[in-house]
Amino acid sequence: MDGNNVNATGGCPVMHGGNTTVARPVNEWWPRSLNLDILHQHGARTNPMDPDYNHRDAVKALDFEALKADVHALMTDSQDWWPADWGHYGGLFIRLAWHSAGSYRLGDGRGGAGAGNIRFAPLNSWPDNASLDKARRLLWPIKKKYGNALSWADLIVLSGTIAYDSMGLETFGFGFGREDIWGPETDINWGDDSVLMAPTEERVTDVDDANSMYNPLAASHMGLIYVNPEGVNGTPDPMETAKYVRMTFSRMAMDDEETAALTVGGHTVGKCHGIAADIGDAPEGASVADAGFGWSNPSFNGKANTIHTSGLEGAWTTNPTQWDHSYLELLLGHEWAVTKSRAGAFQWEPVNLPDELKVPDASDPSIKHNPIMTDADMAMKIDPIYREICERFLKDPAYLAETFSRAWFKLTHRDMGPKVNYIGPDVPAEDLIWQDPVPAGNTDYDVAAVKAKIADSGLSAVEMINTAWDSARTFRGSDKRGGANGARLRLAPQKDWEGNEPARLGKVLDILTPIAQESGASLADVIVLAGTVGLEQSIKAAGHAIEVPFAKGRGDATAEQTDADSFTDLEPLADGFRNWQKEAYAVRPEELMLDRAQQLGLTGPEMVVLVGGMRVLGTNYGGSKHGVFTDREGTLSTDFFVNLTDMAYSWHPVEQDGLFELRDRKTGAVKWTATSADLVFGSNSILRAYAEVYAQDDNAEKFVRDFVAAWTKVMNADRYDLVA
């Protein structure tokens, strides 16, 4: 019975042909195979909602006030199966919201709270997220009650925000509108550490330089969103820890003041749990009998003080269920020394603290404990920059409250994109620079007249197409940033990015800007419309009469509305669609192309059709001819696919790294040159299957229609105003 799977724990062999676990992925034997599945995750076949379900419409029908009241009531509705510390769940729900949002990283915009991904692996089983499965189960009755109108993603973040509100903080606001996913995000590289808390030297090139850690990860250790709370390499040293805190939070898009405020405000409430007992397996590895919980606590006796979570033990403030200013009074006003928790973890405790400042036990208020600080807390005291900020907060509690509430709002909304995506009565009216605000664009202009002016401008089709593409390609579906709306292509830093060919870009903008001014259209619209004009010229040259859709209404952002520093992370270092990369990288060009396609929200066929079309249009960076498999460049034809799949040509690597020659098999003459980002569409079996569709004699018009649809999708990727 070859191929039978035998239960390792005993049981009879059974014919079992389904590949039903991830222990043996179907493609594990493929050498460096492209993971094209990242283009097709979260599709209709995994989504249980009806095909006509519209989440935004459902959210708008929520009874927001009733929901908030229910979440408020839950805060003090302690359950025997998982009791609340001091009778208040606020600290637990804040931790749930924080750890969900805190996975965001500015480098690629991935992570964050926007999709409810903490429900799934690996996040649900990160050691830093121990017991957060309980927090979500406590929220289940509310999710059950409000149903489809309330996403887990919204509820998780709302619970933390309401927690602060219930404990006395005036929060900055809240926006609904996050939509759940139904399985793990397979596109995200969370890091490849295999050993929890392995030596720091294994993940940085220089221990003294926190920024040498692998980018774009924000986590310094697998499963730990922040730094080791016991110190770098588990050794208390607040100055060293401060370096990693600064690096970690900067990768989360937070400056020093926001970092200090979040640390202070986050640890003003709640506690750590650290009894000396074993903790059960993580949710993904736990027994079926654990009901998906994981992290079982063998020593739990029904009281909050017998819960084990982090290993550290204690609260940071005297009144851990109240928003007050005692954190800084304790931290800066007392001497602290390294001790160990009941579970043996390094932590800091005050020396000779008066009894009236000690913390009541979470279950028995007659018992008092020292407050505690982690190494990251001590960094706020020892690091001179953080110290100065904290002293300012100490002198002005109102300033601390405002700074924290704004930082909390940013932390929990950073990946939601423009404010038009926010729903509900508590959305702040203020436009915040990190939301990348774009003013509404004019729609009262004659599109046909503008197209005529563009056509008569003297610009070539490829100049117009490339400028429109470069404007739109910055879009990242991960955090809904970038894109053509706003015309930030004309502003620093984008206008100077090497990948945007500044000289060509400057020429095109000098011609298009007066057209925009004369017509009343935004420059953002005119840039995209110019791409439309150039594309329609190329379609006509191919003998087709297919119109490219255009949606007007983009606005032009100002430099004052643009956080230039944060846009640095959106700079393309490679663009396989234009067959370019800034320099040689360890990652192959086709992998970088795949990553960009995923961020643009493209499917496999859409990526294929766009690359093939852009090659024959001549859109390569600097006018290079790599991959331009046609004798009629500038015509939107299927020639790329026809010649790529033609066995009349053989492929040969050349000495220049990454380049190939396509030679006539009979004569040996070089017909074309190419990069791996070209030839992968003929060598990868899946991509070749798509390429063959467009190489067929009967699909010339289908190719143009599909190209136009994919092009339009990219141009409108950031047009949330069209579906608000």
pLDDT at 267: 98
Q: What is the mean pLDDT of residues 699-705?
A: 98
Q: Which residue is listed with tokens 């961020």?
A: 599
Label residue 4 by pLDDT band (50, 70, 90). Answer: very low
Alpha helices, DSSP H, located in 61-89: 64-74
Identify whether the C-beta of residue 675 lies closer than 8 Å to the C-beta of residue 574: no
DSSP state of 359: E
Which of 537, 541, 529, 543 minimizes the C-alpha distance to 448?
Answer: 529
Instruction: For residue range 661-691, list pLDDT tens digits in order.
Output: 999 999 999 999 999 999 999 999 999 999 9
pLDDT at 33: 81
Instruction: For residue range 575-587, list pLDDT tens digits in order.
Output: 999 999 999 998 9
Identify whether the C-beta of residue 180 lies closer than 8 Å to the C-beta of residue 151: yes
pLDDT at 151: 98
How many other C-beta atoms are found inside a 10 Å radius of the C-beta of residue 395? 10
Q: What is the mean pLDDT of residues 47-60?
A: 96
Instruction: For residue range 509-529, list pLDDT tens digits in order.
Output: 999 999 999 999 999 999 999
Instruction: Give all strands (DSSP E) within 280-392, no chain letters.
Output: 314-315, 336-340, 346-350, 359-360, 368-369
The residues near 558 (Cβ < 8 Å, ≥ 6 apart) are: none
Confidence check: pLDDT of 251 > 80 = yes
pTM of the model: 0.95
Q: Cα separation of 614 and 577, whole Å? A: 7
Confidence check: pLDDT of 705 > 70 = yes
Confidence check: pLDDT of 8 > 60 = no
pLDDT at 5: 47
Q: Which of 55, 88, 99, 308 is catalytic?
A: 99
How long, in residues, is the chain?
A: 724
Q: Which residue is listed with tokens 């490849």?
A: 192
Instruction: For residue range 55-71, list pLDDT tens digits in order.
Output: 999 999 999 999 999 99
Identify whether the C-beta of residue 114 lies closer than 8 Å to the C-beta of residue 417: no
**Sign of the CA dihedral with 600 first, then 606, 607, and 611 last:** negative
Which of 327, 408, 333 minimizes the C-alpha distance to 373?
Answer: 327
Q: At what angle do helices 238-251 and 375-382 cross, to 10 degrees?
A: 100
pLDDT at 241: 95
Instruction: For residue range 599-630, list pLDDT tens digits in order.
Output: 999 999 999 999 999 999 999 999 999 999 99
Instruction: For residue range 124-175, list pLDDT tens digits in order.
Output: 998 889 999 999 999 999 999 999 999 999 999 999 999 999 999 999 999 9
pLDDT at 18: 62
Which tokens is 626 given?
A: 């790599």
Which tokens is 79 given?
A: 């359950």
Confidence check: pLDDT of 32 > 80 = no
Check if 72 is active-site.
Answer: no
pLDDT at 1: 37
pLDDT at 415: 97
Mean pLDDT computed over every residue of the chain: 94
Which of 645, 598, 446, 612 minimizes the C-alpha distance to 526?
Answer: 446
pLDDT at 519: 97
Confidence check: pLDDT of 219 > 90 = no
Which tokens is 3 given?
A: 């191929």
Percentage of the chain lying above the pLDDT 90 cut = 86
Label residue 27 by pLDDT band (50, 70, 90). Answer: low
Instruction: For residue range 230-240, list pLDDT tens digits in order.
Output: 998 889 999 99
Label residue 223 by pLDDT band (50, 70, 90). Answer: low
Percentage of the chain lying above the pLDDT 70 cut = 94
Lowest mean pLDDT among 254-263, 283-292, 398-407, 456-465: 283-292
Does residue 564 or residue 211 have the better pLDDT?
564
- Amino acid letter for position 254: M
